[in-house]
Structure 1
Amino acid sequence: MTQDLQQFHAALAAPDDQSINPSGNPGLDQLVDQGRRTLLKGGLGLAALSLFGGVLGSRELFAAPPQLLGFTGVPVQTAADFDRVLVQPGYTARPFFSWGDAVLADAPAWNPDASDDWQAQLRQAGDNHDGMHFFPFAEAPDSHGLLVINHEYVNPTLHPGGMTFVDGRRPLAEVKKEQAAHGVSVIEVRKDAAGHWQRVLPSRWNRRISAQTPMAIGGPLAGHALMKTASDPAGREVLGTLNNCSMGVTPWGTYLACEENWPHYFVNRDAQDWEARVAHKRYGVGNGERSKYYAWETADPRFDATPDAGQPHGGQVNEPNRFGWVVEIDPFDPDSQPVKRTAFGRFSRECAVLSLGADGRMAFYSGDDAKGEYVYKLVPAGRFDAANPGASRDLLDEGTLYVARFDADGSGRWLALVHGQNGLTAENGFASQAEVLVNARAAADRVGATPMDRPEWVAVHPVSREVYVTLTNNDGRGEQQPLDSANPRRENLHGQILRWNEKDGDPAASEFRWELFLLAGEQPGAKDPQGQAVPAHLTGTINGDIFSSPDGLAFDGAGRLWIQTDYADDEPAMQAMGCNQLLCADPLSREVRRFLVGPRGCEITGITWSPDYRAMWINVQHPALSYPASDGQTRARSTTVLVTRDDGGVIGA
């Protein structure tokens, strides 16, 4: 089972391992090569700069304790049969919420043979837990709340015998179960009388949202021709959400699920139309005999985006336009309809992370998780009014979308993706703002954004508002993506983390200063198991415990930066890294310590805390062995894990 699952995840990732950015936007080494050498040495040093003369350097902004990391690092785990979660001594990590666990009160018990049908799956936890957030109840914030969890995609183990193909076609019942296992779970959690966190069932707030849940379309694309299909001629309601990876939250208390690798659920078999349709080709919508993931279109025609002139609005040709958005969900209103907020632009979105200014101005940062894609932010037109949070409900329907350009001298600029500006005109293929938003990738190509090494999660420091982004890896930088200061390695198997400060600390600023926080990889001078020196492109600049492929990223309230990893732990270049990890970094010293290691084959992802930071939840996604049962027989289950300190103290302190 281990090898089969690892092969499945390798095949699933393959479409994203191919760059489809045709822009040829200049690399920064073509501008100022010296800038790269200076940055790699840490010479720019955000911590030592007075940014734009108005904002203090990050050392002065961070009011951190002298010893931010209050634990010693755990060792890497390289055993092929490692099937548990290893956490720092003095802590306990226990499975809390696994695929198949009951969400609704009438959910049947999970069957270990995976024989539950799609109707049961709609009432149970979905598969492949990812981004999540804890929403506290005001009357007892440290002991009672709602945990909202993304379910990104599904494994073959969802079915008793794996995925079935009969003459290339999928059974409808299997497709429906897979759709039911996507989406989001909302579960009520609270401490019991003994002080232990438990799930609450039944609960009026518990809810499953899936690829079958009706969702409203909000913002500039609501009712637009580009959103109309034969099944929704009004273009105002989408059925479901797909491939939710990371997330965001709003200051008015809603959850932002982010649709990442949605293109591979669709197929357009008309080669000529696919070639000419930017909304398909530029995003990697399938153009073969079947879609790249699960062949849902063979059972559910909604996922066949081949144009059909005999159907209204070309049949389902616009259905892919209805994915790739931010989905706003109100966890405290289980009867509310989720809304796809189209002002955010459409791409393979990893997250939508908030930076809130003192005056109520906001920015929501996102990475487009593919090789050579971009970093974006949305600045809403309105401001958040803390005295009247209810007035904020539609603030995400109007704003300005920007994409980042990282210059070699450590400066940066946010380029507006606005129709009529920066070459985004009808003559260049953008007839209106709707075309700009639906084809945000092509718009970013046009304005000259910097292609990045798979930009993923973003984190904003709780005091300074300094912004960090993980660039997971990219072994395919070629002529279209030349090396630059922000992406300095050609065979970048291990990735890096960047950080920046907005001008004057203003989330809505159009300028920023940036630097490389670290390059992931092995220590300089490291040797492989045969005693040979590790190649330079596999070494990094980590001060402390090594890791590869940073993915999940979040700050806790004290300013500790938590880093989660996602790499194929069976690849030769990852042998020194062992299983995937959760680490913690001090933003000032840049010291990194390994806090937790997951079971073989998994990704460590998703992170949230109780408001007192005495409880942490993280996700173990697609473990390859029998975790959480760890009996060598039970099928593996993606699982939300609860981490607490044995003495009841603050995590990481």
Structure 2
Amino acid sequence: MSADKPRLLPLLPTTNTFGRSSVTCRYRCGDACSHDVPNTSDNPYFADVVAQVGRRRLLRAGAVLTVAGAGLAVGAGTATAHGKGNGHGSGHGPGHGSGHGTGLDFRPVAPNTEDRIVAPAGYDQDVVIRWGDPVLPGAPRFDFANQTAAAQAQQFGYNNDFCGLVPLPGRRDAWLMVSNHEYTTETHMFLGYDEDNPTREQVETAWAAHGLSVVVVEKARRGGLEVRLDRHYNRRITVGTEFAFTGPAAGSRHLRTSADPRGRRVLGTLNNCAGGVTPWGTILSGEENFNQYFANADAVTDPVTKARLARYGLAGGASGRRWENHDRRFDLVREPNEANRFGWIVEVDPLEPDSTPVKHTALGRFKHEGANVIVARDGRVVAYMGDDERFDYLYKFVSDKKMKRGNSRHARAHNRTLLESGTLYVARLTGDGAQDGEFDGAGEWIPLARGDRSFVDGFTAEEVYVFTRQAADAVAPTKMDRPEDVEPSPRTGRIYAALTNNTDRGKPGKEGPTEPNPRAANKHGHVLEIEEHRGDNTATRFSWKLLLVCGDPNSPDTYFGGYDKSQVSPISCPDNVAFDSAGNLWISTDGNALSTNDGLFAVPVAGPERGHVKQFLTVPHGAETCGPVVTDDFVLVSVQHPGELDGASADNPLSHWPDGGTSQPRPSVVAVWKH
């Protein structure tokens, strides 16, 4: 084949099936993928990029990667490592392995559909905590058939997602483990549940099952972790917990309600998805699909308000959970600003159990998957974020103030203010069109606002923060395929973004394939790698490339960092990312479109093993793999919505994990460790 003439390949099919059940789609995100895409802006992808893709040369390896829907092929040969001295030596992954210098010496788990955790040979596992287990001392024992709101407020919440560990002061073998509780699936929580008429007790139980849990965990003698019912640190945060707004939009007229006429306090947090542990020992949590909890958007008459609601996916009449029947704040006709009080990055200090958690307006409002922070060379902190929606954007925030080192009370108090002032940016990516045969290019961070100053014509600063999606639309950033977890490597500073999928790409009237999003009807997703200019995380320019284009390795439209595709594990729908001490990237999946269970995967990002994806574990059927924490001694995963299969309910459970027998399935945190 001539290197100058890429071979045309047939279009890939555009029919799609996902691993998620209809009940999961309904309760987790309000059936987002079955509704119109909220981003109706006409931001163009740069036409010169599309023209240049057709002129690209293949890499020397001669492999082919299809740009589905465009019918053009580009190379997928071996990618070069990012320079020298990247620090990826013989570091350790879980269990102190050292295979090929990557620390990933486990034998990959085969894809499967079993109703259990499947881990590599030579590894043990145990449940750390499950839905309904006690969090607070004196909490009642879990009773599925008679669960109450009072009991749930003292117990581990439902559908845990993000999981983070903060070292317990004075201990080397104990941590504060913080878990998000993203959403409730009432049909699986209550026997005989009536979706149109939930009782007050059921609604209040669901409120208590949302939010976050903070528990002390310590190493168990047999391995793994066990919970300690600590009277000082253990804590539940729910829909009834008071939060304070911080930053430039605190007190905005768009945040004021009849219950909070000053716009500075709000009850609760909703749909907390991913998050991060800050360098100063706090937890960041992202409020994601908050739109589904609010009712009667179709009855709002003001056209400006209606357009703002629609851009965040708020539409229709009654909500799926009918919370508006029991609390007026979930009725948009009665409280049109209440929805504006959700969609923020939340910060919780687990080391200060009496502290008031906050919502940071300086980081913008959208469907936050999460936020992850790195300290830049000059001491300022940088937070990276994704807006988990089809055709939405990547963001970052650069603080004004510098971080203070140390754990003194003064340093911690200062550092908790770092996310209150700074510059909010959105990303624009362009393909380089060069004849290098890779999906790569350049990019820029476009400023949206800093403090009281707006950089977007037609928007005040407070409008930028409260209606960030519309402000970003106005500066033409790059529409991405559901940007979820975005995390900088603590070793290299490079940023990795999980782009889960987007089956609407290339549909009539929708944007087609672009270099950073190269497939139409993208049902498997991809992983983006960003390197800031000169390695400076505060820079406004960057370069990018695709590390993975996920799916079946036997398919021509997949790419694994240039690694031999016959040697990798199939991976679909990347969601959350994490790093081990050797700098390897770990990826959890959500909605595996390869008809097998979701799992946790590891992949080196540099050296000869770059792109060598290996599956570390799988979760039970119907479940999603969330919140990975990877240490040298153990791995933690959050097993979310086990048994959520079509046809399943509390009255007809189709999974009995983790307790077996005839028990109901229970979302849980699981530890896996080497013998």
Cα distance in 2 between the residues matched to 1:579 and 1:243: 23
Cα distance in 1 between the residues matched to 2:530 and 2:663: 45
1:616/1:153 Cα in 2 relative to 1: closer, same or farther (>3 Å)?
same
1:162/1:269 Cα in 2 relative to 1: closer, same or farther (>3 Å)?
farther
Q: What letter is aligned with 1:295?
A: R
Q: Which residue of 1 aligns with 2:370?
A: 351
Question: Which structure 2 residues correspond to residues 35-434 of structure 1 after superposition, within 5 A?
Answer: 35=53, 37=56, 41=74, 47=80, 57-58=82-83, 60-65=85-90, 66-68=100-102, 69-78=104-113, 82-113=114-145, 115-141=146-172, 143-157=173-187, 159-161=189-191, 163-165=193-195, 168-192=196-220, 197-267=225-295, 268-273=297-302, 276-286=305-315, 288-291=316-319, 293-306=320-333, 315-387=334-406, 388-409=411-432, 410-418=441-449, 424-425=456-457, 428=458, 430=459, 432-434=460-462
Q: What letter is aligned with 1:73?
A: P
Q: Which residue of 2 aligns with 1:9?
A: 24
Q: Which residue of 1 aligns with 2:594?
A: 574
1:279–1:321 CA contact under 8 A, matched in 2: no
1:373–1:454 CA contact under 8 A, matched in 2: yes
Question: 2:497 pairs with 462, 466, 469, which one?
Answer: 469
Query: Offset at 1:32?
Result: 4.5
> 2:21 is paired with a residue of what secondary structure?
helix
Question: 2:484 pairs with 443, 447, 456, which one?
Answer: 456
Cα distance in 2 between the residues matched to 1:72 and 1:42: 29
Cα distance in 2 between the residues matched to 1:422 and 1:450: 20
Tell me, yes or no, if structure 1 residue 596 matches structure 2 residue 617: yes
| Unpaired segments ≥5 residues, structure 2 | 1-18, 59-64, 66-73, 91-99, 433-440, 644-653
2:599–2:618 CA contact under 8 A, matched in 1: yes
1:493/1:43 Cα in 2 relative to 1: closer, same or farther (>3 Å)?
closer
1:277/1:200 Cα in 2 relative to 1: closer, same or farther (>3 Å)?
same
Query: Offset at 1:490?
Result: 0.8
Query: Offset at 1:248?
Result: 1.6
Q: Deviations over 1:372-403 (max 9, x none)?
A: 00000011111112143432221111011100
Question: 2:662 pairs with 604, 619, 633, which one?
Answer: 633
Cα distance in 2 between the residues matched to 1:76 and 1:62: 32
Q: What letter is aligned with 2:88?
A: A
Q: What letter is aligned with 1:590?
A: G
Cα distance in 2 between the residues matched to 1:421 and 1:42: 44
Q: Which residue of 1 aligns with 2:13?
A: none
> 1:149 is paired with a residue of what secondary structure?
strand
Query: Offset at 1:191?
Result: 2.5
Q: Deviations over 1:467-518 (max 9, x none)?
A: 1001000000143423210101111010000101001111111000000111
Cα distance in 2 between the residues matched to 1:516 and 1:5: 25
Q: CA RMSD in A?
A: 2.4
Cα distance in 2 between the residues matched to 1:96 and 1:38: 51
1:43/1:643 Cα in 2 relative to 1: closer, same or farther (>3 Å)?
closer
TM-score computed with the length of structure 2 as normaliser: 0.84
Cα distance in 2 between the residues matched to 1:333 and 1:38: 56
Cα distance in 2 between the residues matched to 1:98 and 1:34: 52
Q: Which residue of 1 aligns with 2:475?
A: 447
1:149/1:284 Cα in 2 relative to 1: closer, same or farther (>3 Å)?
same
Query: Offset at 1:463?
Result: 1.3
Cα distance in 2 between the residues matched to 1:215 and 1:38: 54
Cα distance in 2 between the residues matched to 1:260 and 1:556: 26
1:25–1:481 CA contact under 8 A, matched in 2: no
Cα distance in 2 between the residues matched to 1:75 and 1:45: 25
Identity of aligned residues (%): 37
Q: What letter is aligned with 1:603?
A: E
Q: What letter is aligned with 2:166?
A: F
Cα distance in 1 between the residues matched to 2:223 and 2:639: 24
Q: What letter is aligned with 2:234?
A: N
Q: Which residue of 2 aligns with 1:546?
A: 570
Query: Offset at 1:194?
Result: 5.9
Question: 1:22 pairs with 40, 64, 67, which one?
Answer: 40
1:626–1:632 CA contact under 8 A, matched in 2: no
2:363–2:424 CA contact under 8 A, matched in 1: yes
1:58–1:466 CA contact under 8 A, matched in 2: no
Q: Deviations over 1:32-68 (max 9, x none)?
A: 53358569656798745xxxxxxxx355424333431
1:548/1:194 Cα in 2 relative to 1: closer, same or farther (>3 Å)?
closer
Q: What letter is aligned with 2:424?
A: L
Q: Deviations over 1:539-584 (max 9, x none)?
A: 55474100110111111121111111111x5xxx523xx1111110
1:46/1:545 Cα in 2 relative to 1: closer, same or farther (>3 Å)?
closer
> 1:382 is paired with a residue of what secondary structure?
strand
> 2:428 is paired with a residue of what secondary structure?
strand
Q: What letter is aligned with 1:411?
A: A
Q: Which moved more, 1:456-465 or 1:188-197?
A: 188-197
1:83–1:630 CA contact under 8 A, matched in 2: no
Cα distance in 2 between the residues matched to 1:76 and 1:90: 18
2:576–2:588 CA contact under 8 A, matched in 1: yes
Count matched residues: 596
> 2:582 is paired with a residue of what secondary structure?
coil
Cα distance in 2 between the residues matched to 1:144 and 1:235: 38
Query: Offset at 1:26?
Result: 1.6
Q: Deviations over 1:330-379 (max 9, x none)?
A: 10111111011110000000011112123312210011001000000011
Q: What letter is aligned with 1:22?
A: T
Cα distance in 2 between the residues matched to 1:371 and 1:301: 30
1:118–1:174 CA contact under 8 A, matched in 2: yes
1:33–1:408 CA contact under 8 A, matched in 2: no
> 2:206 is paired with a residue of what secondary structure?
helix
Q: Which moved more, 1:26-35 or 1:460-469?
A: 26-35
1:16/1:239 Cα in 2 relative to 1: closer, same or farther (>3 Å)?
farther
1:29–1:408 CA contact under 8 A, matched in 2: no
Query: Offset at 1:218?
Result: 0.7
Query: Offset at 1:77?
Result: 0.5
Q: What letter is aligned with 2:531?
A: N
Q: What letter is aligned with 2:394?
A: V
Cα distance in 2 between the residues matched to 1:318 and 1:412: 35
Q: Which moved more, 1:86-95 or 1:269-278?
A: 269-278
